[in-house]
Structures are given as C-alpha cells and as structure tokens.
Structure 1
Amino acid sequence: MKDLRKLAKEYAQNVLDRDSYHKSRRELIQGICAGEIEVKVHEYLTPLEDLPNVDDTSENIITQLSYPATADSDATVPDRAGSAPVARPKPKASPAPSSAARPRLIIRQKNIVIAMTIIILLAVITLTILLVPATDDSSVQITEVQVAEYNSGQILITDFIQQKNWSQDGLTSFITSWQQLSDEELTAVQISPEMKRLTSTIYQQLLDERALLSLGDLSPGDI
C-alpha cells in the first residue's frame, strides 16, 4: 500500500488522475484509522553533546574552575589527586546550521505566494464577469458579431494561456489588461470558448500548486 507522499507525488506527476488519487487516498486513510495499515513514524535524533567523564566529582569541578583559562590557550589544571596536570577540554564549536532546509523553505514559500496570487486572479475575473450588466437581444446580436471577429478579450486570454507565465509580474499584467477591457468586450468574451479555457487552465494550475505544496516536505532525492 502506498503512503500519502507517494500518492501525492504520482498525482503531481500526472501518473494518477484526480479520481484515482482521491479514491486511493480515501482507502489509505480509512485503513490507517481502522488499524489495518501500519504507519511508520520518522524519528530524528537530536545531536548529542559531549558529557563529562563519569569519575568527575564536585571537588574536581571546583578545582578546574579555580584555574581559569582563555579560549585560545591550552591551559592545564591539576586533577583532584594533585599528581599530574589534566588538560582542560576545549569547548567544541557548535555545528553550523544545515543549509539543506533553506532551499525547500524558499520553494515552499514561493509556491504559497503563487497559489494565493492565482486565487486572487480567479476571484477578480469572476467578480468582473458577475458585474457585467445584463444585455438585451440586440446586445446579444452585437456580441455574436464581436465574438466572430475575435475581440481583444479573447486575444488577451489566448496570449496568457500560451505564455504560461504564472509569475507575479505576469499575473499583474494580465489583471491590469483585463480591467481595461470595455463592457462590450467583457460581454463578448464571457460567452466565448476562450473563457472556458481560461477557467479550466486556472483550475488546473490550482491543483498543480496544491500538489506541489503537499510535496514541500520531500527531499530532492525522493523526487
């Protein structure tokens, strides 16, 4: 039985379609809740610090504290018996924080920003369509002529879909151009096939972004 990460990975790579992904995910969750599927727990051990020797007593510690040494010197202190000097252990430098997690964090934050921007874009387009006033029969006839002539709104949607530019600048440019369309152009593009293509493209992009967010915890080796 595949785990949730493998299912999300195959869904993001289009190995599984949407229905198969939801069905497998639902069966996996039901099996886990019923206790039929064992879930592996990933435990990560924390770095161990050097501990003092077992034979160190409070007297030996007090003796060492009475002989201070600088961080750069190899100072020695007598042991508790006073027979031979014992080298003071140098404090070990703490390991530098791993930079492996930084790229994954940056990618995850970028995916969240892109997903939120796409949602805002879809909301703006939807609100713009809803705010278009209703037209009478004569307006519908004019609109049909405009659709046949392939108006500016259809050209704008076609260029946006072909460019596949989902960056912040690309989305902002599209929204600005969309808001500059006239009421007649918005009415015409509302019933055009390009509008359906735009809605489907935005929805698919949302699914892809959600799949990428679910893979944010995977290491590059797993992908």
Structure 2
Amino acid sequence: MRTVRVLLVDDQELIRQGLRRMLEIEDGIEVVGEASDGEQALRVTGECRPDVALVDARMPRMDGVELIARLSVLHPGVAAIVLSTFDEDDYIFGALRGGAVGYLLKDCTPEQLVDAIHRAGGGETVLASPVAERLVAELRRAPATPSPERDPGRLSSREYEVARMVAAGATNREIAARLLISEGTVRNHVSVLLRKFGVRDRTRLALRLHGLPASGKEIIT
C-alpha cells in the first residue's frame, strides 16, 4: 500500500493533535506537517511535500477556501480535503471551485476520514453525503446549456460510459465493477477525459460533465 503523506491545517491545536494521534496509527498514512492557518500552510507545504492537505474551512488570516485556491496554483499535486464543522454553500462551492477534491464534516467517523484520505491520495473525489446532496441540487438548478468549454470533441463509447458515471459521482472502483474493467483502465479513461475537457481535477470534471446528452449520440465516435 502506498503511504499517503498528510498535512493538517486547522487553527485549533487540540483538533490537530487529535487528528495526528488518530492518523499516526493507520497503515499507509504519514502526518508530515501541521499549520494553524492558510499562510503557514503555504510556507510548510513546500518543505513537507504532502500528498493530501486536510484543511479547516474557517481560519484566521487566510481561510481554507483561499488556501485551496492558492494550493491549486502553487502546488497542484496536493489534493485538498476540507474537514469542517460548517456546511454552508459559500464554503462548499468556494472550496470545490478553488480545486478541493473533497469536503467532509467533522462529525464523520474515523473510518470515513481514513478512507477519504486514501481515496483523495489516489485521485478520487470524496464528499460527505450532505455536501454531495447540495452539489447535486445545485447542478439540477443550473442550466444545462452547452458551452464551448464543455465541448471536448468526440468521445469513444467507453469514455462516454466512464464520463456518465463520473458525473453521477461514482468512484473508480464502482466504475470498474460496473463496466467490468480494471481500476487502472478507469484511471486512464479519467485522465483522458480531464485532458479533453481541459480541467485538472475530478470535481471540475464532474461539474463540466453535467448536462451530457442522454443518448450520447452527439459526441460519441
């Protein structure tokens, strides 16, 4: 199992200590750094080289939303997961638009948090159920009109099948099981889709894929 290097970013030391103690006993996870706000997190990221940043939404000096937007530019290889008490739209959609690959609430179980870290480290998107419901509701409210930046050209029939399942929030494992292909093959298809749609992470891909034609005839080669 690949070890996922984690940076803890929270302005409450008690929270950081609790998270560190919980994660340090887990196989495949190494806590490589801590920060008490976004500015400190930016300084230490280059030093500790995390795979995943576990970020609180509300912090002094620089909150989680601004931090994630800057990490996306300065350290695009770091997968940011928000771990917050707050499930307000400004935080949720601000973080996701900024490049977060996950949004969890602090009432999640240790098992859910550990699973989310491993999945985010593997390139997957992880959303708490209430957050996923908010996202789906927002997508349903948004107009599904085509736009130039959502036009990837032609997709193969397999790419289209994978795209539809990504848009529905399926994980790589779920897609592989449904389509009877390996997870590695799914990852390859997702990488191609990211390139064709001109986005850099799975969350943005899911947002772009909203409104794909139901039949797929318009875009399948």
TM-score bracket relative to the smaller structure: under 0.3
Write 1 or 2 for the structure with the bigger share of helix: 1
Q: Which has the larger radius of gyration?
A: 1
Q: Return the TM-score normalized by structure 2.
A: 0.19
Structure holding more strand per residue = 2
